[in-house]
């Protein structure tokens, strides 16, 4: 979602006459879009700001002005503290306020400023659309936020505080945005939300529609051939949505479904409001409709009170499900969240060793899944030229990276590729026949 937000901020700033630069030393304006989900990400902001401050000093010596903005969830959580700890920062702007960047930039010229109020109006309505040129430069696969915020309050998580309460965009607004992307060459859409499967936006008739209905509407946009959505919550994985994995041909056989732990005791302490059995049932229902679905998940290791038995249950769940990939995080206590004050925090050394254990298993499963593709012919959406000359690259339906020889003219098309080899983090193959027709 930060990638999406950053793109939207770039769109606004383009309207103000700014152009993006690859070289930070050249920048008249630096916007740090930040993440607060774990301590490491949040602390990185301050070290980065130290570096940027020196750069600002060098530029000032040359008579150049540099303005520094901190956006995103660290901005939301830290607010005025950022101005205090980082004297070079001009403006602090929260994730629900960046639509006002032009105005805020003007105001902050006179006085350093913090804007982190949760406004009543829908920020998306006032965001300018990207130009056709910008859309083409960003590639054939695009993110679109459809749902934001969260009301679930898992005891470890800052999202409800930094992104605010749950909100779904209207179907009309989303379709208009996607039609524009498709008209400039986008072929794959990933619908984004902190709880994307809790989507309940209004349609043109004023009725509330579910994510499954939204997926149907998006699939009808001319040019859109692939759909994905992330991140889902096991509780909101209902039968209608599972059925979309069979009935909506554009929905890819891949689902990211975070479970966090394989122990009911820990899930309860996390206030996840689902059991391990609920997660198994959600996986099974999607598999029933679409047997070749690959699953990925998120795991928090060393949540307060996690015992060896709880961790063993997590390992067992990973063994049982078999993930095509998984993200494993050491529990990071976040200020203001209930879990941070829980008594039985797990020592760092225990978290480290458990993390290593689960990562070894996840890596093994990931590799095995990738290797199972060798010898098969896969549909690949070609996204870009490859790293080696003459190569192009794209993604398989299961979101695996595939590289093969071919012409850059194929970018934006789905082609058949015979997979010959599995290397670290990607598959190698060769074009099998004529390019397939694009919808």
- Angle at which helices 101-108 and 2-15 pack, to 10 degrees? 70
Q: Write each residue from 155 to 174 as x if it is in contact with ligand SAH (CB under 6 A), else as -, in one continuous string.
A: -xx-x---------------
**Shortest distance (Å) from residue 299 CB to ligand SAH:** 6
DSSP per residue, 357-415: HHHHHHHHHHHHHHHTTTT-EEEEEEEEE-SSTTEEEEE-TTS-EEEEE--GGGTTSEE
Asked if 395 contacts 252 with a C-beta cutoff of 8 angstroms, the reply is no
Q: Which CB sits closer to ligand SF4, 162 or 365?
A: 162
**Which listed option, ligand SF4, ligand SAH, none, makes contact with residue 329 (CB within 5 to 8 Å by class)?**
ligand SAH
Q: Which CB sits closer to ligand SF4, 160 or 185?
A: 160
**Which listed option, ligand SF4, ligand SAH, none, makes contact with residue 213 (CB within 5 to 8 Å by class)?**
none
Cα separation, 340 vs 344, in Å, equals: 10
Cα separation, 407 vs 62, in Å, equals: 45
Number of neighbouring beta carbons within 10 Å of residue 374? 14
Asked if 101 contacts 123 with a C-beta cutoff of 8 angstroms, the reply is no
Name which position in 300, 313, 373, 378 contacts ligand SAH (CB under 6 A).
Answer: 300
Q: Write each residue from 189 to 218 as x if it is in contact with ligand SAH (CB under 6 A), else as -, in one continuous string.
A: -----xx-----------------------
**Shortest distance (Å) from residue 305 CB to ligand SAH:** 14
Name which position in 202, 289, 329, 410 contacts ligand SAH (CB under 6 A).
Answer: 329
Burial 173-198 (b: 16+ CB within 10 A, else e): bbbebbebbbebbbbbbbbbbbbbbb
Q: Which CB sits closer to ligand SF4, 190 or 194?
A: 194
Of residues 25-64, those binding ligand SAH (CB under 6 A): 37-38
- Stretch of 89-97, 153-161, 263-271, 284-292 lying at the interface with ligand SAH (CB under 6 A): 153-161
On the CB side of 318, how many CA atoms lie within 13 Å of its CA? 28
Asked if 366 contacts 323 with a C-beta cutoff of 8 angstroms, the reply is yes
**Which listed option, ligand SF4, ligand SAH, none, makes contact with residue 153 (CB within 5 to 8 Å by class)?**
ligand SF4
**Which listed option, ligand SAH, ligand SF4, none, makes contact with residue 44 (CB within 5 to 8 Å by class)?**
none
**Which listed option, ligand SF4, ligand SAH, none, makes contact with residue 332 (CB within 5 to 8 Å by class)?**
ligand SAH
Asked if 64 contacts 30 with a C-beta cutoff of 8 angstroms, the reply is no
Rg (CA), the chain: 23
Q: Does 258 bind ligand SAH (CB under 6 A)?
A: yes
Q: Is 10 exposed, middle or buried (0-12, 13-18, 19+ CB in 10 A)?
A: middle
**Which listed option, ligand SAH, ligand SF4, none, makes contact with residue 331 (CB within 5 to 8 Å by class)?**
ligand SAH
Asked if 69 contacts 28 with a C-beta cutoff of 8 angstroms, the reply is no
Q: Which CB sits closer to ligand SF4, 78 or 236?
A: 236
**Shortest distance (Å) from residue 160 CB to ligand SF4:** 5
**Shortest distance (Å) from residue 258 CB to ligand SAH:** 3
**Shortest distance (Å) from residue 257 CB to ligand SF4:** 11
| Residues making contact with ligand SF4 (CB under 6 A) | 150, 152-154, 157, 159-160, 194-195, 233
**Which listed option, ligand SAH, ligand SF4, none, makes contact with residue 265 (CB within 5 to 8 Å by class)?**
none
**Shortest distance (Å) from residue 235 CB to ligand SF4:** 9
**Which listed option, ligand SAH, ligand SF4, none, makes contact with residue 160 (CB within 5 to 8 Å by class)?**
ligand SF4
Nearest CA among 439, 297, 438, 436 for reference residue 378: 436
**Which listed option, ligand SAH, ligand SF4, none, makes contact with residue 392 (CB within 5 to 8 Å by class)?**
none
**Shortest distance (Å) from residue 103 CB to ligand SAH:** 31
Asked if 192 contacts 152 with a C-beta cutoff of 8 angstroms, the reply is no
Cα separation, 355 vs 300, in Å, equals: 9
Residues ≥6 apart with Cβ < 8 Å to 207: none
Q: Which CB sits closer to ligand SF4, 184 or 195?
A: 195
Cis peptide before 309 (omega within 30 of 0): no
For binding to ligand SAH (CB under 6 A), which residues are involved? Answer: 37-38, 156-157, 159, 194-195, 231, 233, 258, 260, 298, 300, 329, 331-332, 334
């Amino acid at each position: 979602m930060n990638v999406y937000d950053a793109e939207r901020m770039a769109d606004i700033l383009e309207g103000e006459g700014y152009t993006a630069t690859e070289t930070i030393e050249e920048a008249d304006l630096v916007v740090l879009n930040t993440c607060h989900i774990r301590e490491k990400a949040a602390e990185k902001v301050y070290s980065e700001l130290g570096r940027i401050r020196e750069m600002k000093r060098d530029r000032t010596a040359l008579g150049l002005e540099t303005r520094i903005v901190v956006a995103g969830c660290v901005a939301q959580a830290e607010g005025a503290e950022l101005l205090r700890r980082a004297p070079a920062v001009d403006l602090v702007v929260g994730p629900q306020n960046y639509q006002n960047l032009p105005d805020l930039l003007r105001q902050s010229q006179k006085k350093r400023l913090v804007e982190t109020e949760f406004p009543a109006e829908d920020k998306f309505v006032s965001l300018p659309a990207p130009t056709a040129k910008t859309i083409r430069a960003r590639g054939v696969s695009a993110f679109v936020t459809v749902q934001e915020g969260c009301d679930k309050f898992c005891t470890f998580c800052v999202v409800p505080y930094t992104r605010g309460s749950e909100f779904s965009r209207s179907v009309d607004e989303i379709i208009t945005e996607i039609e524009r992307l498709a008209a400039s060459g986008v072929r794959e859409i990933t619908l984004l939300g902190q709880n994307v499967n809790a989507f309940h936006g209004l349609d043109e008739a004023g009725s509330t529609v579910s994510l499954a209905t939204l997926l149907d509407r998006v699939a009808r946009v001319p040019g859109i051939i692939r759909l994905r959505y992330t991140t889902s919550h096991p509780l909101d994985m209902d039968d209608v949505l599972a059925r979309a994995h069979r009935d909506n041909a554009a929905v890819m056989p891949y689902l990211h479904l975070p479970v966090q732990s394989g122990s009911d005791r820990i899930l309860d302490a996390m206030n996840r409001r689902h059991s391990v059995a609920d997660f198994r049932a959600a996986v099974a229902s999607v598999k029933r409709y679409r047997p070749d679905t690959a699953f990925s998940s998120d795991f928090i290791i060393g949540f307060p009170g996690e015992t060896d038995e709880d961790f063993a249950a997590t390992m067992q769940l990973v063994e049982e499900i078999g993930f095509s990939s998984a993200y494993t995080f050491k529990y990071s206590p976040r200020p203001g969240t209930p879990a941070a004050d829980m008594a039985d925090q797990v020592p760092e050394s225990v978290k480290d060793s458990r993390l290593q254990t689960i990562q070894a298993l996840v890596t093994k499963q990931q590799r095995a899944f990738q290797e199972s593709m060798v010898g098969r012919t896969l549909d690949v959406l070609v996204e870009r030229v490859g790293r080696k000359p003459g190569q192009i690259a794209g993604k398989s339906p299961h979101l695996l990276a595939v590289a093969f020889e071919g012409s850059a003219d194929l970018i934006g098309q789905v082609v058949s590729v015979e997979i010959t080899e599995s290397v670290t983090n990607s598959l190698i193959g060769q074009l099998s026949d004529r390019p397939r027709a694009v919808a």
